[in-house]
Structure 1
Amino acid sequence: MKPLKSWLGLAMSVSLLSGCFDSEQQQPINSENSAQSSRIKLAMLLPPRSGLTPLSDDAFKLSRWSTAETLVILDQEGNLAPALATHWEQLSPTTWRFQLRSDVTFHDHTPLTAKAVVNALSTATSAMPKPRILDGVTLQIRADGEHAVIITSEIPDPLLAQRLTSPQLSILALSAYGENGVINPVLAGTGPFILTGVNGTSSATLDRNPDYWGEPAQAEGIDVSFVPDGLARSSALRTHSADIVEAIPVSQAPLLDQSLIHEVPMPRTNTLYLNTRHGVMQDPAMRAAARDAINRAQIVDNVYEKRADIAQGLLGPALPWAAKLRQPVANPTPAALPEGAHITLATFTDRTELPEVAVYLAQQLTDAGFTVDQVVREYSQIESDALAGQFDAFILSRATVLDSGDPVAYMYSDFSCAGSFNIAQLCQTDIDNALQHAASLPAGPERQQAIMEAERLILASDAAIPMLHERVIQGESERVRAAVRDPRERTLVSNQTYLVSDQQTMQ
């Protein structure tokens, strides 16, 4: 059994760089010490794709804003820590019990109960498609009194509790769940900030939650703008129209005050996915030819201005154990290219660097003998075509441990026969078996070794060619204190984040 730790407000602050004021001269702005607003202006990279439903990647916005919370969270070391659940125990290989906090109120003023948790998690398990953290997983959830739930998996799942840390399994009030699967997170979370309004794909507004179960937020609220254009986001930092800016493009970083930008190593890999089911790339030799054509150093040096790491595998330096356990990959010898081997190379505009990566890759593949057409659109307009296998090659910036702190879920989603995000259309029995073996093991060295064996098989297929591991560049104005620099991209503004006055920044 995991004991309850008396860490007030831990659910929203375990990733913090600092939870304290810098000094007596560095107090948060309030009505007594400044006329300036203490609302944090936040410029974000991607607009909502699915109406901020927690069952999509939009869940990570709700998490980064500290408005929606999960039963348990991951601390800085990747270990489980309490959040809406105070402690938990594994009753059998397939059954876990989670004890809920009794003092939590949703933003609509209804109490956190076992009924609400059962509803939220059952909705996720029955969704079509499921949240990717539940790929290949069947769960049953039932109440055990008013303040506990029992969660049972169809087969033993050693990482069941880790799965529950995914923002896609956030617990929202019963009022959030409408007809026809519509979920509205406004006034429905439990976090230190209340989501009070969403203006389509333009903006969102959050206010401090005065009834938060943990330590109240230092800031009055958050005003979010969705700014897909990288130049515009950078300008927002330069002109003080944003306090925190997500994902400064590497091309803009040298033009900014270097004290305002912070590189965060990410478990994110820029990967070229090749279509193994349709077109030219069905042929393993053609995939190998594409692999050999890629000049990673040229892309890192010229597109990322050396603010990235050349990839040796799918898992990068954010997981230091991966390099130690990686084994050589036996790749097939590429065949001579037939004249005019024609491929379509696609990517999206939302991550500023990717269209430029596409230009370099297209030239490298052309030099190797391919004829290359490029397709570049906004992500919301290209995702469905990519998942349907409409392109021969697709460049994707992919988080590798986003959901559970463990890469098996990402590998299963992207490379198993039943994976919900299988852009490469890959289906190989040996890879599925390796992933199932890794998934059956508890966290620790044996599981890590099994993960690297699965990686070796995936790399040998040449269905995915890892090119580089990214470092996100986060912008923070001089007024910002305790913004969260989170490699897992789960928290950005926490209950500890606040602003100081312009006068205080000069002291």
Structure 2
Amino acid sequence: MSIVQKPYKLIVLLLVLMFGLVGCSTTKENVDGKEKVEKEEINELIVARKADAGNIDPHFISSNPTANYVYGKVYESLVSRDKDSNYIPALAEEWSQIDDLTWEFKLRKDVKFHDGSDFNAEAVKQVFDRLLDEKTASPRAVVFSMLKEVEVKDDYTAVLHLNNPFSALLSVLASSEGSIISPKAFNEGGVDLSINAVGTGPFKFESWKPGQEMILLRNEEYWGTKPSFEKLTYKVVPEESTRVAMVETGEAHVADQLPVTELNRVEGSSSMSVLRTEGFGVEYIGFNVEKEPFTDVKVRQAIAHAIEKDAIIKGVYNSVGSRVASALAPKVVGFHDGLKDFPYDVNQAKNLLKEAGFPNGFKTTIVTDDRKERINLAEVIQSQLKGIGVEVEIQVLEYGVYIETLSEGKSEMYIGGWGNATGDADYNQYNVFHSSSAGPVGNFSFYKNPVVDKLIEDARKEPNEEKRMELYAELQEIELEEAPLIPIRTLEHLSVTAKGIDQVWMNPVGFFFFE
């Protein structure tokens, strides 16, 4: 099988009609040769971000919000995806699958890293050698566990040899984990990649004041079309209404992670627009299936029957996102649209609890992080489960403590979500349901089923796309029935832009791209 793509080029960013914004100058422009209108040329684009970045070394990035600071801006990968999630060339101009275990990538010849060193096949080899080296101890190495080695066929041809067939290879290459880092930066020392970034992208890393701001500058030697603005500044602004106000008053051009509680305010504004993208992820209620009474599938099914999803999506999420019965969102490759969800049925829920030995219900706790929407969801779950005699205590934790609590199996019920960084079913299935992922990797339910494990392993090796989809359909049927978690809604990413900033877009992971 051979896949050949045309070179990928970015479109020049036109940022217009932003009168009074930081870093703007005014020019005149003819419209249809008849009248002149004001056009603003922006030299500095300001993005208000909810959270600061963590470790920005792609081999150690632990969250999508952190990856969003540098991926597609400072760092690029061999393969990328367009607005429709189709694979397109990036640092590789074309590629071909030689056999089940061998993929060949023809690389661009006009690329340099930001430190002036050459991008070539040897650089690709060194990057993946570093990722897989046990001494590196990268938590992201598991994503490329199928990779045996990278062969340098010639200066601009890299051959990836796999340990086993892996049908989702392009999806991980096109993710943040596939970022190509300058080998000079990590080989020669002097550059701490946890707080600096050296890639090939349209922006160069300039500076970072933790908790305050990060600045990226336009890469004047970029191989593709350069951004129209010179400076990209991220401002760390945790308070949600403040981020919105910054866009409203002209202090910022973009604000990320718009809460649904602010949606109506932005939609009714004359100076702001909502940027929304259907995501790859799903939000859900999870159970620690190793803790009583959630060891019993009937208890989990009872709660599934007692949760009124439609009311939650409308009341808690302001109809943002859509109801789903699978841990895979509809945009993810492998989504099974034939699932029949648990109907809302309080009587059936009570009968199942009685069969499980809890005719009068029981007491439990639900853990959530401190996002307003999730706290509201926890309160609604608490209210709905009272109807079947289940008393729920809510524990609201700071995000870091929340992740630690789930990773260590200290929760009973929890509110969670999986953003899916690749858009392929394997990313969800292996991380959320495979027994080897129990704990910090993502299987916070500590769910273990040998049949599910084998199906996941078979699906990631299956070269026939139709058969692969059948395996994922079977997996989703089992996971629905056994209910280690209850999917609530698909994630929909919401951000705010100033009027006229209509060529900043988000992909289904929630990453910003500046055309």
TM-score of the superposed pair, with normalisation by structure 1:
0.85
Which residue of 212, 226, 229 maps to 1:219?
A: 229
What are structure 2's unaligned runs of at least 5 residues? 28-38
Q: Structure 1 159/474 Cα, relative in aligned 2: closer, same or farther at 3 Å?
A: same
**Is the aligned partner of 1:46 residue 2:44?**
no
Question: Would you say how many aligned residue pairs link Structure 1 and Structure 2?
Answer: 482
One-letter amino acid matched to 1:361: I
Q: How does 1:136-147 map to 2 (within 5 A)?
A: 137-147=146-156
Q: How does 1:65-104 map to 2 (within 5 A)?
A: 66-104=73-111
One-letter amino acid matched to 2:60: L
Deviation of the 1:44 alpha carbon: 2.0
Q: Distance in 2 between matches of 1:23 and 1:40?
A: 12
Q: How does 1:270-289 map to 2 (within 5 A)?
A: 270-289=283-302
Q: Structure 1 464/176 Cα, relative in aligned 2: closer, same or farther at 3 Å?
A: farther
Q: How does 1:377-456 map to 2 (within 5 A)?
A: 377-400=397-420, 402-403=421-422, 405-419=423-437, 420-442=441-463, 444-456=465-477
SS at match of 2:364: strand
Which residue of 53, 60, 63 maps to 1:55?
A: 60
Alignment deviations for residues 418-476 of structure 1 (CA, whole Å, 9 cap, x no partner): 12211110110111122122212237443223212111111111101001123222211
Q: Distance in 2 between matches of 1:87 and 1:303?
A: 45
Q: Distance in 2 between matches of 1:50 and 1:461?
A: 36
- Corresponding residue number in structure 2 for 1:153: 162
SS at match of 2:301: helix
- Corresponding residue number in structure 1 for 2:281: 268
Q: Distance in 1 between matches of 2:141 and 2:378?
A: 27
One-letter amino acid matched to 1:39: E
What are structure 1's unaligned runs of at least 5 residues? 14-18, 497-507
Deviation of the 1:478 alpha carbon: 1.8
- Corresponding residue number in structure 2 for 1:243: 253
- Corresponding residue number in structure 2 for 1:308: 321
Alignment deviations for residues 344-366 of structure 1 (CA, whole Å, 9 cap, x no partner): 211112x4411111111122233
Deviation of the 1:22 alpha carbon: 8.8
Shifted more, 375-384 versus 58-67: the winner is 58-67
Shifted more, 408-417 versus 434-443: the winner is 434-443
Highest CA radius of gyration, 1 or 2?
Answer: 2
Q: Structure 1 310/160 Cα, relative in aligned 2: closer, same or farther at 3 Å?
A: closer
One-letter amino acid matched to 2:453: D
Deviation of the 1:186 alpha carbon: 2.5
**Is the aligned partner of 1:119 residue 2:120?**
no
- Corresponding residue number in structure 1 for 2:193: 183
| Kept in 2: contact 1:53–1:185 (CA 8 A) | no
Shifted more, 291-300 versus 208-217: the winner is 291-300
Q: Structure 1 321/90 Cα, relative in aligned 2: closer, same or farther at 3 Å?
A: closer
Q: Structure 1 328/360 Cα, relative in aligned 2: closer, same or farther at 3 Å?
A: closer
SS at match of 1:439: helix
- Corresponding residue number in structure 2 for 1:162: 171
Shifted more, 370-379 versus 34-43: the winner is 34-43
Q: Structure 1 191/150 Cα, relative in aligned 2: closer, same or farther at 3 Å?
A: same
SS at match of 1:409: helix
Q: Structure 1 100/41 Cα, relative in aligned 2: closer, same or farther at 3 Å?
A: same
SS at match of 2:352: coil
TM-score of the superposed pair, with normalisation by structure 2:
0.84
Deviation of the 1:31 alpha carbon: 6.2
Q: Structure 1 291/61 Cα, relative in aligned 2: closer, same or farther at 3 Å?
A: same
Q: Distance in 2 between matches of 1:321 and 1:470?
A: 17
**Is the aligned partner of 1:360 residue 2:394?**
no
Q: Distance in 1 between matches of 2:365 and 2:137?
A: 29
| Kept in 2: contact 1:133–1:409 (CA 8 A) | no
Q: Structure 1 320/176 Cα, relative in aligned 2: closer, same or farther at 3 Å?
A: closer
Deviation of the 1:151 alpha carbon: 1.3
| Kept in 1: contact 2:336–2:472 (CA 8 A) | no
Q: Which has the higher contact order (CA 8 A, sep 6+)?
A: 1
One-letter amino acid matched to 1:119: Q
Deviation of the 1:100 alpha carbon: 1.8
| Kept in 2: contact 1:175–1:188 (CA 8 A) | no
Q: Structure 1 325/177 Cα, relative in aligned 2: closer, same or farther at 3 Å?
A: farther
Shifted more, 253-262 versus 51-60: the winner is 51-60
Deviation of the 1:406 alpha carbon: 0.9
Q: Structure 1 189/305 Cα, relative in aligned 2: closer, same or farther at 3 Å?
A: same
- Counting aligned pairs with the same residue, the percent is 20
Q: How does 1:320-359 map to 2 (within 5 A)?
A: 322=335, 324-326=337-339, 334-336=352-354, 337=358, 341-349=362-370, 351-359=371-379
| Kept in 1: contact 2:42–2:229 (CA 8 A) | no
- Corresponding residue number in structure 2 for 1:473: 494
Q: Distance in 2 between matches of 1:310 and 1:463?
A: 18
Q: Distance in 2 between matches of 1:65 and 1:409?
A: 20
